[in-house]
Amino acid sequence: MRKVVVVTGASSGVGLALCKRLLEEDDELHMCLACRNVGKAEAVRAALLAAHPAAEVSVVQVDVSNLRSVIRAARELKQRFQRLDYVYLNAGIMPNPQLNIKALFSGLFSRKVIHMFSTAEGLLTQEDKVTADGLQEVFETNVFGHFILVKGLGSRSSY
């Protein structure tokens, strides 16, 4: 029986590299790409199958920053697969820090100027949106969505 591997955020970056690497090790895996963007995931699926024709590759749509989507995906994974051998919780975001121009100019003319340039304290800001579920986007995407996914996969009762 084929081993089943689920990778969240498999459509690019580390997640995609992981899928390729796992298939190089065992090209008879069933690789399930759990991705937000189905179009991107289908393109990755085609490329993986072209390189590893013996593999099975499927796509499950999930937005880990949306609890309804996560619950639906957990239900779908349980319905589709009798076993999951490995689940890689890779999907994630890291907003780029931005320079806070206002803090820069007010710091320039203050007594904290040396401290400001030696530590960058107050100079960099990171925006974090609030999701439809009322949670910080980075937290829900990187942590909470995956927590609910794993909880849903582990529970006998369907969500």
Ligand X SMILES: NC(=O)c1ccc[n+]([C@@H]2O[C@H](COP(=O)([O-])OP(=O)(O)OC[C@H]3O[C@@H](n4cnc5c(N)ncnc54)[C@H](OP(=O)(O)O)[C@@H]3O)[C@@H](O)[C@H]2O)c1
Q: Hey, what are 2's tokens?
A: 């084929």
Which residue is associated with the tokens 């999951």? 84
Closest CB to ligand X among residues 35, 148: 35
Minimum distance from residue 91 beta carbon to ligand X (Å)? 3
Closest CB to ligand X among residues 38, 123: 38
The identity of residue 80, as a single letter, is: R
CB 18 within 8 A of CB 7: yes
Report how far residue 132's alpha carbon sits from residue 96's, in angstroms, rounded to the nearest whole number.
21
Minimum distance from residue 151 beta carbon to ligand X (Å)? 17
Residue 16 has φ and ψ, to the nearest 5°, of -65, -45
Closest CB to ligand X among residues 12, 110: 12
Q: Which of 58, 64, 76, 44 is nearest to 4 (CA)?
A: 58
Minimum distance from residue 142 beta carbon to ligand X (Å)? 6
Closest CB to ligand X among residues 54, 124: 124
Minimum distance from residue 120 beta carbon to ligand X (Å)? 20
Q: Which of 52, 75, 51 is nearest to 154 (CA)?
A: 75
Residues that bind ligand X (CB under 6 A): 8-9, 11-15, 35-37, 40, 62-65, 90-94, 141-142
